[in-house]
Amino acid sequence: MDTTLASRDLSGLFEEAEVDYDFFTKKQNPQSMAFMAELMPLFERLYPTRYHIKTLLDVGARTGSGTEFLATVLSPDSYSRLKCTVTALDIDPRMARLCRALRPQLEYLVADIFEIHDRQWDIVLCSHCLEHVLEPEPFLMQLRRLAREHVVISIPFREDPETRIKPHLHSFDETFLEAIGAENVTIYDGFHWPHSQIATFSVPPL
Per-residue pLDDT of the chain (206 residues; tens, 9 = 90+): 444 444 567 889 999 999 999 989 999 999 999 999 999 999 999 999 888 999 999 999 999 999 999 999 999 999 999 999 999 999 999 999 999 999 999 999 999 999 999 999 999 999 999 999 999 999 999 999 999 999 999 999 999 888 889 999 999 999 999 999 999 999 999 999 988 999 999 999 99
Give φ, ψ of 19 to 5 degrees: -115, 120
pLDDT of residue 161: 81
**Which string of b and e fits 58-97 if b means at least 16 CB within 10 Å?**
bbbbbbbbbbbbbbebbeeeeebebbbebbbbbeeebbbb
Q: What amino acid is encoded at 137 in this protein?
A: E
pLDDT of residue 50: 85
Task: Count how many domains the chain has.
Answer: 1
pLDDT of residue 10: 85
Residues near 34 by Cβ (< 8 Å), separated by ≥ 6?
190, 191, 192
Q: d(Cα 99, Cα 67) in Å, to the nearest integer?
A: 10
pTM of the model: 0.92
Q: What amino acid is encoded at 85 in this protein?
A: T
Residue 108 maps to which CATH number?
3.40.50.150
Range of the domain at 100: 3-203
